[in-house]
Amino acid sequence: MFLPVATSYPMVSYAFLKLTDFRRSLTRPLRRRQSLALVLVLGPPLLWIVGLYVLPLTFLFLYSFWQVIGFNVEAHWTLDNYRQIFAEPVWLQILLRTVVMATLVTVSAIALALPLAYFLVRYTTRWRNLLYLAVLVPLWSSYLVRVFAWKTILGSDGVLNTFLLDAHVIHQPVEAFLYSNYAVFITLLHVWLPYMVLPVYAAIDRIPPSLFEASSDLGARGWRTMRSVVWPLAFPGIMAGSIFVFSLTMGDFITPQLMGNGSQFVGNVIADQFGVAFNYPFGAALSTLPLVVLAVFLTVSRRFGALEAL
Amino acid sequence: MTGLPAVDATDGRSARSGSTLNPESTPSDVRLDGVCKQFGTVWALKPTSLDIARGEFFSLLGASGSGKTTTLRIIAGFERPTAGRVFLRERDVTSSAPYERNVNTVFQDYALFPHMSVGGNVGYGLRVRREKRDEIARRVARALDLVRLSGYEHRRPSQLSGGQRQRVALARALINAPGLLLLDEPLGALDLKLRREMQFELKRIQIDVGITFLYVTHDQEEAMSMSDRVAVMSDGRIVQIGAPTDVYERPANAFVAGFVGTSNVLQGRVVAHDASTYQLDVPDFGIVSVSRVPGVTELDELLIAIRPEKITILVPSDDGRIENTVVGRIVTASYAGAFTRYGISVGPHELAVVEQNMGSGPSWRLGEEVRLAWSSETNHILPGSEKDLQHGTEEASASGRGI
C-alpha cells in the first residue's frame, strides 16, 4: 500500500531508505558478534529461570540453616532444623506416607493410562481425537473444581451414597467415602491422570503398528505383546508421565486438606510451618525432604532415558 | 471394473500352468474361498478364490491398490475378510487370530523390534513358545546361518544395513518353521543391485526350507524370476493365474498383456481362416496371420499382441520366409548394453522391437528402412478391448518398473 507512494515521491523513498539504513546500523553489531545476539535471545528466559526459580530455591535452602529468634528469622547458622526432623519420628513418617501415596498414585496411573493409550492408538480411528480431547479437557478446568467434584461424589449426600442407599446396599450414608486416605488417593489419581496419559499416548503412537502385528504374527498374544513390545518401547513415556504424577502428588497439600481424614502429608506440614507457625527455617528444612526424594527419582529416571522423552 | 471377460482364475488357468508343481496333485496349503474385503464403500478385494500348493513359490503381482496386500493381510490374520473363508492346510482359519495360525510374515518395513538385539528378534517366536534357552540359541544360530548373518546375534537392528535387516526379518519368520511364509514387498526398500542378489537368495532359501512362499510385489521381474506361479491382480481381483511363462507368453487378456512386459497390440478384422490360422486384415498395416486358439471362435474383430523380442529385423530385400512380414522404418533406437530397443513405424503404427546386440553396438540406424518378420505362433489373441490394454500399461508404469 505504501510502496507506490514511496516510489512516486523521491523524498519519501529517501526517508524509507534512511530507515532501512537505520535498521541496519542497529543490527550491525548483532551480525558482527553472534555472542551478543545469543545474550539477547537467551537473556530473558535465563533471567526468568534464575530470578524466579534458582534464587528462591537458594534462599529457601539458606533459610533452612537459619533460626527464628523472637518473631524474626535471623541468619544464625544452625543445623537444629534438620536435627529436629530426625529427632522426632513423626516427620519421617509423614515423608514415608507421602512417598507411599505418590508411588501408589503413580503406579495406578500407569495401570490406567497404558491400556487406555494403547486402545486409543490401536483401535480407534474416528473417535480418536474426541477421546483424546476427553483426556485433555479436565486439564483446562481448575484443579479445585476437580477436587470439589469428588466431594460431591463421595460425600454423605453424594452421588455414591445416594446410589447405594437407593440400591439398598447400605442403610446409612458411609462417611468414610470422603475424609479418608482412599478419597485422597482417588482424587489425586483423577487429577493427575492426564499427565500420565499424554506422554504414554505419545510414546505408543510413535511405535510403528507393524511391530504389534509382527509380535502377534510370531505367536504372541495380547499380554505378551504388551509386556515384550509395548512396555519397553513406551517406557520412556511411562517414566516421563511418572515424573509428572509423582512430583505433583509429592507436592500436593490441598487435596489431603479437603479430602483427607487429617493424616498429614509433606505438603501440609510445609504449608503449616510457613502459613500457621511462621517457622520459615523449619519449613524450609522440611521442603528439602521432597526435593531430595525427587532428585533421587529423577536420577534414576535419567538412567532409563526418560528425560529424553519429555 | 472394465469390461473384461471373466477369467476363471482357479480352474482354467492353473490347469494350463506349466508349473513344476501341479496344484491338483499336491495338497493345498492356502485356499481362499470367495474371500473379499470392503473398507467402507471401497472394495479392496472383490470375491476371490485361490489355491496355493504346498511348497509353491506363489506371487501376487499388481499395482498399488490392486488388492494384493489386502489378500496377504487376510491370510496372515491382520484383516478379517468381509465374506468368504480362508483355509490353511484345509483348516478353516477365517476367524483365527494371527498367533493361532501357522503362518509367519516378512513385513515391508521389516518390523524388527528396535529394543532387541538381532538374536533377540530372531528368537522372539521361540521365546513366546517357551522353548528351552539352549534350544533357542541353537536355532537362532542356525537361522542366522541360513540367511548368512552368523555372528550378528548381538548387534542392534539400527546397526544393520537395509539388506541385513531384511535377512534378519526373514530369519525371524523362518525360525518358527511356519507352514507358509508371507512376504510383503520385502525387497521394496533395497537398491536394484541388492534386490537382484536377494532374489537369488530368497529362491535359494525357499528351496532349502521347502516352505510355501506367498510373495507380494509390484515388480514384474521379481515375480517372474522367482515364482512357480504368479497371480496378476488389478482393481481388487485376480485377472490371471499361471506360471511366469504363461502370464508372459499367453496373457489372458489385454490388461495382462499391457501390465506384464511390453506388447505390440494390433486390431484387425478376420478375412480368412484355415484349420490352424486366422488371416487378419489390420488397417494401414497388412495381413497378419495368427494361430487359432481353442476357445476363440468366429470373431470379426480381434486384438492381437506380439512381444517386442519375437520380431526379427531384416533388410527389406530379405523376405524372411516367415508367415508375417511388414516393411517399416526405424524411428527410435535406445541402446541398453545387452540389447537395443527400436521403435519402428509401419504406416500410422509404431512397433516396439528388441534386438540382442550380437555384433558391436546396434545393427540398425535411425531412418533406415527394414523388414520385420515374426511367426504366427508368437501372435497372441487377446480377449478384451484396447482400453484394458491401456489400463494395464498405465498400472505397470504407475508401479514403477517394467520388463
Last residue of a domain, one of B254, B285, B310: B254
Residues 6+ away with beta carbon under 8 Å from B298: B270
| Contact residues on chain B for A214, CB-CB shorter than 8 A | 105, 107, 111-113
Helix residue ranges, H only, A141-225: 143-154, 159-166, 181-205, 209-217, 222-225
Percent pLDDT > 70 in chain A is 89
Tell how far CA B79 is from the center of its chain: 23
Chain B residues in contact with chain A using a Cβ-Cβ cutoff of 8 Å: 76-78, 97-99, 103-105, 107-109, 111-115, 124-125, 128-129, 172-173, 176
- B292 and B313 inside one domain: yes
In a domain, B150, yes or no: yes
Range of the domain at B214: 9-254
pLDDT digits (tens, 9 = 90+) for B225-266: 999 999 999 999 999 999 999 999 888 888 888 888 888 888
Say whether residue A224 is in contact with chain B using an 8 A CB cutoff. yes
Whether B94 shows a pLDDT value over 60: the answer reads: yes
Tell how far CA B130 is from the center of its chain: 39
Contact A213 B99 (CB under 8 A): no
CB–CB contacts below 8 A, A to B: 61
Distance separating alpha carbons of residues B103 and A218, to the nearest angstrom: 8
In a mutagenesis test of the B interface, which of A213, A215, A217 is the best target, namely the one with the most B β-carbons within 10 Å? A217
| Contact residues on chain A for B105, CB-CB shorter than 8 A | 213-214, 217
**For position A165, what pLDDT does the model report?**
87
- Please give the helix or strand (H or E) that residue A72 lies within, else none: strand A72-74
Q: Calculate how close chain B gets to A131, using CA atoms only, in Å.
A: 22
Contact A218 B128 (CB under 8 A): yes
Q: How many domains does chain B have?
A: 2
Whether B87 shows a pLDDT value over 90: the answer reads: yes
In a domain, B133, yes or no: yes
Residues 6+ away with beta carbon under 8 Å from B46: B1, B36, B67, B235, B236, B237
In a domain, B4, yes or no: no
Distance separating alpha carbons of residues B161 and B146, to the nearest angstrom: 18
- Asked which of B149-158, B185-194, B316-325 is least confident by mean pLDDT, the reply is B316-325
- B61 and B123 inside one domain: yes
- B183 and B281 inside one domain: no
Here the cell at position A280 is 520459615
**For position B7, what pLDDT does the model report?**
37
- B170 and B97 inside one domain: yes
Q: Domain A83-309, CATH 1.10.3720.10 — does that match?
A: yes
Are B279 and B271 in contact by the 8 Å Cβ rule? The answer is: yes
Query: Domain residues of chain A, as ranges?
Result: 2-74, 83-309
Distance separating alpha carbons of residues A199 and B225, to the nearest angstrom: 48
Closest of B256, B224, B260, B231 to residue B71, by C-alpha: B231
- B247 and B264 inside one domain: no
**For position B24, what pLDDT does the model report?**
52
Facing residue for A218 by CB, picked from B77, B97, B104: B104
Q: Calculate how close chain A gets to B123, using CA atoms only, in Å.
A: 10
pLDDT digits (tens, 9 = 90+) for B133-159: 999 999 999 999 988 899 999 999 999
**For position A160, what pLDDT does the model report?**
87
| Contact residues on chain B for A216, CB-CB shorter than 8 A | 77-78, 97-99
Last residue of a domain, one of B192, B227, B254: B254
CATH of the domain at B380: 2.40.50.100
- B341 and B239 inside one domain: no
Facing residue for A219 by CB, picked from B78, B108, B129: B129
Say whether residue A232 is in contact with chain B using an 8 A CB cutoff. yes
Here the cell at position B318 is 530379405
Are B386 and B257 in contact by the 8 Å Cβ rule? The answer is: no
Last residue of a domain, one of B233, B254, B275: B254
Here the cell at position A271 is 504449608
Angle between helical axes of A89-123 and A128-140 (0-180°, round to 10): 150
Q: How confident is the model at residue B19 (pLDDT cuts 50, 70, 90)?
A: very low
Distance separating alpha carbons of residues A124 and A116, to the nearest angstrom: 11
β partners of residue B233: B62, B238
In a domain, B3, yes or no: no
- B141 and B243 inside one domain: yes
Here the cell at position B45 is 478385494
For B268-276, what is the mean pLDDT? 81
Contact A211 B113 (CB under 8 A): yes
In a domain, B2, yes or no: no
- B145 and B265 inside one domain: no
Say which amino acid occupies A304: F
Facing residue for B111 by CB, picked from A214, A228, A233: A214
- B213 and B77 inside one domain: yes
Are A161 and A155 in contact by the 8 Å Cβ rule? The answer is: yes
- B343 and B368 inside one domain: yes
CATH of the domain at B154: 3.40.50.300
Say how many C-beta atoms besides its own lie within 10 A of residue A159's C-beta: 12
Residues 6+ away with beta carbon under 8 Å from B370: B313, B314, B315, B316, B327, B328, B329, B330, B344, B364
Say which amino acid occupies B9: A
In a domain, B279, yes or no: yes
Here the cell at position B335 is 541402446
Q: What chain B residue is nearest to A232 in terms of C-alpha separation?
A: B115
pLDDT digits (tens, 9 = 90+) for B371-390: 998 888 888 888 766 666 67
Per-state percent for chain B, helix, strand, coil, to nearest 5: 30, 35, 40
Whether A49 shows a pLDDT value over 80: the answer reads: yes
| Contact residues on chain A for B98, CB-CB shorter than 8 A | 213, 216-217
Task: Give φ, ψ of B322 to 5 degrees.
Answer: -120, 155
- B205 and B334 inside one domain: no
Helices and strands, counts by H and E, chain B: 11, 20
β partners of residue B205: none
Angle made by CA atoms B91, B128, A226, in degrees to the nearest 5: 105
In a domain, B203, yes or no: yes
Facing residue for B99 by CB, picked from A211, A220, A228: A220
DSSP B68-84: HHHHHHHHHTSS--SEE
Distance separating alpha carbons of residues A29 and A73, to the nearest angstrom: 48
- B80 and B226 inside one domain: yes
- Please give the helix or strand (H or E) that residue B49 lies within, else none: strand B42-53
Whether A175 shows a pLDDT value over 80: the answer reads: no
In a domain, B278, yes or no: yes
B103-106 and B180-184 beta bridge pairing: parallel
The pTM score is 0.78
